[in-house]
Structure 1
Amino acid sequence: MQESSLSNSNKISTKKNLIQNLSTNSSQNLVRDEIDTNNNQEFQNLVNQMILNLIAKTEAELITISTITQKYKETVAQKTN
């Protein structure tokens, strides 16, 4: 399972790199052959995965902020008592 996750992560990273390469103004467009532009589902899956990764990262950051805020409130409450 972990190996499958790593494999998916590598695939996503590769596709992200390819998309970034396509968006630069390079005179050579050899990278275009690496992405199957006829497969809209593959591209949609990539975009969906990127969105899910951003949501997960944001959620983790919000949990961290919430935890820090709660600890701060507890510390302040203890000092005022």
Structure 2
Amino acid sequence: MLQTIQGIYRNGKVELAEIPQDITESQVFVTFFKPQSASLASQFMSFGMFSGSQQSTEADFRDTEFNGDIDDTLGWD
């Protein structure tokens, strides 16, 4: 019986979106669709992704970095 399950290839490993039913071991074939750039996939935000009249600067990104401040008021004990 053939089963097709979607997944993502990342850092040399295939991550399946779901567990195959009734299969504990099997030969598989992996087909790659539309390769994505690893550098873009690993970024949460990219420079200029929110276009508008005011563009973000690199300084804006540095200002928003979390540095693990001890005296922040986020409720950490």
| TM-score calculated relative to the size of structure 1 | 0.25
Instruction: Flag the structure with higher strand content.
Output: 2
- The one of the two structures with greater contact order (alpha-carbon pairs below 8 A, sep at least 6) is 1
Instruction: Flag the structure with higher helix content.
Output: 1
